[in-house]
Homo-oligomer: A and B are copies of this chain.
């Protein structure tokens, strides 16, 4: 997998356990780390068994630093190096990874958001393609190991908490269609269609025609094959292209899980694309990971998992995507606990397939993805990240349903 080699070039941390006993400097560093998450119910150990004392209550797990580099890296830049050290095995999390990360997130509490001008860089067409390529083109075989049957790689909707993932992904698609009040014969544009499950669902169950774009070559190839096999190729067109090149008019514009990758600098461009696409009675739905307050994505996630990503606040989306075009907010739903549940399912499946994943890639990859999935679940559980579904319509249109459907 050349992609994987490209993503993880040189390990900066070693999994070797330090041969010597810890020094007073090491113990100072450990106490310092401990103090930044004072209320976290966690044990912190050094390689020689030295433990930083805590008064935070019965621990839910133990974090072990295996060498000085892991320890000092964490002191220097915990946001980045927690992930780096973990993925290369220089730090061990003994216990439930999600529960331990929840402890850390909650303990960090209302940390001052760092400056985030760095994240304003535009993802131009080439950068967008490269960013998507590095994550979504890891191979359909890889994602098939742990996603649901529909290959939906976005937050599901669980009508009840115990619902199966397969059902919850179908329920999500149906919910999106009902929120858009789709009727047979309407034209839908989907920006960022993944492996095509929603586009196919809309055509199959709501009788619409769909033009769906995505810059991921592997995903589009998979989606086209499905459309052919299921006899929907005449009603669902999968286009390998950037959303900025979308042409033609539509009655509904939908985008599930793409806005996070658009980047703030290009929101007005996205708004312009929506405005030139939508008919006078048109409406749309944006489904995206967001924040309560502006803040950048964790730098490790950005380096290793999602280059170029930015989870926006609602005002960022409303002011830059909707407001300039007099698009009206019709409905907003926050589904963050549904994303936590989705991630729980994904982790169980990922763990069950970890042997196959390690064969495909390597142990470092498995650890990195475990941390990403557990860290994401912890972020949704603690409210550090939100999942918003926003329905909008033209400001002057009265075509929306009289009441919402659920």
Interface, chain A (partner B; CB < 8 A): 106, 110, 158-161, 292-293, 313-315, 318-319, 322-323, 326-334, 336-337, 381-383, 386, 388, 394-398, 400, 402-404, 406
Distance of A304 Cα from B37 Cα, bound (Å): 57
CB atoms of B328 and A331 under 8 A apart: no
CB atoms of B292 and A404 under 8 A apart: no
Distance of A386 Cα from B395 Cα, bound (Å): 9
CB atoms of B292 and A327 under 8 A apart: yes
Quick one: closest B residue to A175, CB to CB? B403
Copies of this chain present: 2
CB atoms of A292 and B398 under 8 A apart: no
Quick one: closest B residue to A405, CB to CB? B406
Given contacts A315-B319, A383-B395, contact A326 B402 (CB under 8 A): no
CB atoms of B328 and A396 under 8 A apart: no
Given contacts A314-B318, A334-B329, A396-B106, contact A293 B402 (CB under 8 A): no
Q: Which residues of B contact A336 (CB under 8 A)?
A: 328
Q: Quote the shortest CB–CB distance from A181 to chain B (angstroms).
A: 14
Distance of A332 Cα from B313 Cα, bound (Å): 14
Distance of A90 Cα from B106 Cα, bound (Å): 65
CB atoms of A383 and B404 under 8 A apart: no
Q: Which residues of B contact A397 (CB under 8 A)?
A: 383
Q: Which residues of B contact A161 (CB under 8 A)?
A: 402
Distance of A333 Cα from B334 Cα, bound (Å): 12
Quick one: closest B residue to A398, CB to CB? B337
Q: Which residues of B contact A337 (CB under 8 A)?
A: 398, 400, 402
Distance of A402 Cα from B110 Cα, bound (Å): 25
Q: Which residues of B contact A333 (CB under 8 A)?
A: 331, 404
Q: Which residues of B contact A159 (CB under 8 A)?
A: 403
Quick one: closest B residue to A382, CB to CB? B396
Besides A293-B323, A330-B334, A383-B396, 18 new A-B residue pairs in contact (Cβ under 8 A), listed by A number: A159-B403, A292-B326, A292-B327, A292-B329, A293-B326, A313-B323, A314-B329, A315-B318, A328-B383, A329-B332, A329-B334, A329-B388, A331-B332, A332-B332, A333-B404, A337-B400, A337-B402, A383-B394
Distance of A106 Cα from B396 Cα, bound (Å): 8
CB atoms of A328 and B334 under 8 A apart: yes
Which single member of B160, B292, B330, B406 contacts A402 (CB below 8 Å)? Answer: B160
Distance of A319 Cα from B318 Cα, bound (Å): 11
Distance of A159 Cα from B404 Cα, bound (Å): 10
Distance of A158 Cα from B403 Cα, bound (Å): 8
Q: Which residues of B contact A106 (CB under 8 A)?
A: 396
Q: Quote the shortest CB–CB distance from A267 to chain B (angstroms).
A: 13
